[in-house]
Amino acid sequence: MTEIDKNFFNIWKRFLEFEITRSKHCLAFAGSANAYLVFQVICWHQLLNIGETLDDVSYETTVDQWYEQSGTNPPHPKRLTYSLIAELTGLDKETVRRNVKAHEARGWVTTSREKGICFSADEKMNSQLVDLNRLERELLAKFTSVLTRHGAVPTGAQQIVASAK
């Protein structure tokens, strides 16, 4: 039996609190649940593409590359499509399309047949995302401390996450 199994209630209630709190902030950021789900996949795709060019995967380098590759033609062949977002989120393709178009109207993405859906935020918008990510990392540090307290991760793991603040 794992430590998570032994301390399931205490860990799971904190995990759900983490998810609920994070979702509340992300929903406020995106405007609706569907917009949040779609935007999360777009950001995930951007992060994966950036990762393909990183030798140094530190927070600072990742954020620097995030800024540098936003709104450009990053050197990656992977296209993000309405179908893939629909598959990953469970939303129907038309709902995805409407939400992508709304994100495009606000300047977060561009779309084209050749390149698919591309993250394209400006510096001010990216700063908003970095602020949201700072909050997410603080929430993750708190949850990691719960895992540590219950022996589910090694002692000191929460310091690794907390030092990212």
* pLDDT tens for the 165 residues of the chain, in order: 888 899 899 999 999 999 999 999 999 999 999 999 999 999 999 999 888 888 999 999 999 988 888 876 655 668 899 999 999 999 999 999 999 999 999 999 999 998 899 999 999 999 999 999 999 999 999 999 998 988 888 776 656 555 545
pLDDT at residue 162 in the model: 52
The DSSP H or E segment spanning 116 is strand 116-119
CB within 8 Å of 134: residues ≥ 6 apart? 165
pLDDT at residue 1 in the model: 87
In terms of residue numbers, what domain contains 64? Answer: 3-162
pLDDT at residue 75 in the model: 59
CA distance 151 to 79: 41
Alpha-carbon distances of 86 from 38, 96, 100, rounded to whole Å:
8, 6, 11
How many independent structural domains does the chain possess?
1
pLDDT at residue 72 in the model: 63
CA distance 158 to 51: 24
Structure tokens at 29: 């950021």
The answer to whether the pTM exceeds 0.85 is yes
CATH code for position 35: 1.10.10
